[in-house]
Amino acid sequence: MLIALDSSTLTLSLALVGPGPQLLAEESHPPPRKQSEMLPGALCELLARHGLGLANVSGYAVGLGPGSFTGLRIGLSTVKALAYAHRRPVGGVSSLAALALDGPVNVPLLPVMVARRDEVYVGFYRRTGEGLVQEAAEEAWTPAQLGAHLGAHPEARALGPAAKVLEGVLVQAGAQSAQLLAGPAFPSAWAVARLVRVPDSFVAETLFSLEPHYLRASEAERNPRFPPLPGPVPTARIRGEEE
């Protein structure tokens, strides 16, 4: 039995998943409650409602972002701590991919989430039944770039938290309203569970190497008043900036 979660947005998504995979239970916790106040309590309460405890969990599946820097750190650190304490394996997958799995089949899908600095996180996927094909690397774009891309690719569909929130800007930049799908409002833990490959056994090095998928540096990392600490430059987790 797996516990799956995604904390890349302000809404925490949790799922209890059996072999198959089979969805046993799913729930979401939107604002105003903070994820730092809910985890791991909400996770343990979900298990308790089904007569289970942490000892019954065989592994964890987690959405790795991109998304909220704070939310991703909270979700992944909670999972890592529980997995390490009970020697359980953990697998991670893109939160944008989880959004795409809830989209229509056989069309180009652009799952989008709002980022700071007037940007959106954008993925490029095509759903084939219960699987996904990634057609390009995930990026951080301006809404104008996204709208122009949609205008140039009328067959594409944008979905996710940013699609309808930014509809006016995207349409002004070239997108059609019909290309902007109403949901999902957040990446679901059930989608994460269906996509992730959880290792067969616990390996500490694998657990420690699991990092959030950031598409850009955080505000703190960009602040010139706080230069990087001595040692290796930690850019491997920031897609596109390690090249």
HSE (side-chain half, CA atoms, 13 Å) at 75: 35
Q: Are residues 136 and 110 in the same domain?
A: yes
- The domain tally of the chain equals 2
Residue with tokens 């405890």: 53
The encoded tokens of residue 224 equal: 């010139």
Q: Are residues 77 and 192 in the same domain?
A: yes
Burial of residue 196 (CB within 10 Å: 0-12, 13-18, 19+) is buried
User: What confidence score (pLDDT) does residue 231 get?
Assistant: 53
Q: What is the CATH number of the domain that holds 163?
A: 3.30.420
User: What confidence score (pLDDT) does residue 230 get?
Assistant: 56
Residue 148's domain spans which residues?
103-179
Identify whether 110 is part of a domain.
yes
Identify whether 229 is part of a domain.
no
Query: What does each of the 243 residues of the chain score in pLDDT, given as a tens digit?
Result: 999 999 999 999 999 999 989 999 999 999 998 898 889 899 999 999 999 999 999 999 999 999 999 999 999 999 999 999 999 999 999 999 999 999 999 999 999 999 977 899 999 999 998 899 999 999 999 999 999 999 999 999 999 999 999 999 999 999 999 999 998 999 999 999 999 999 999 999 999 999 999 886 554 444 455 455 555 444 444 444 433
Cα–Cα distance for residue pair 229/128, rounded to 1 Å: 44
Identify whether 241 is part of a domain.
no
Residue with tokens 């987690």: 62
Q: Are residues 193 and 175 in the same domain?
A: no
- Check: pTM over 0.85? Answer yes or no: yes
The answer for residues whose C-beta is within 8 angstroms of residue 181's C-beta and 6 or more apart is: 103, 104, 157, 158, 159, 163, 164
Q: What is the CATH number of the domain that holds 17?
A: 3.30.420.40
Q: Are residues 41 and 153 in the same domain?
A: no
Domain end, chosen from 154, 179, 204, is at 179
Q: Are residues 83 and 129 in the same domain?
A: no
Identify whether 238 is part of a domain.
no
Q: Are residues 174 and 212 in the same domain?
A: no
User: Coil, strand, or helix at residue 84?
Assistant: helix
Q: Are residues 86 and 197 in the same domain?
A: yes
User: What confidence score (pLDDT) does residue 221 get?
Assistant: 47
User: Coil, strand, or helix at residue 241?
Assistant: coil
Contact 94, 211 (CB under 8 A): no
Q: Are residues 6 and 90 in the same domain?
A: yes
Q: Are residues 88 and 117 in the same domain?
A: no
User: What confidence score (pLDDT) does residue 216 get?
Assistant: 67
Q: Are residues 194 and 144 in the same domain?
A: no
Domain end, chosen from 158, 179, 200, is at 179
Entry field: residues in the chain: 243
Q: Are residues 91 and 107 in the same domain?
A: no
HSE (side-chain half, CA atoms, 13 Å) at 147: 18
Q: Are residues 85 and 110 in the same domain?
A: no
Residue with tokens 């679901």: 188
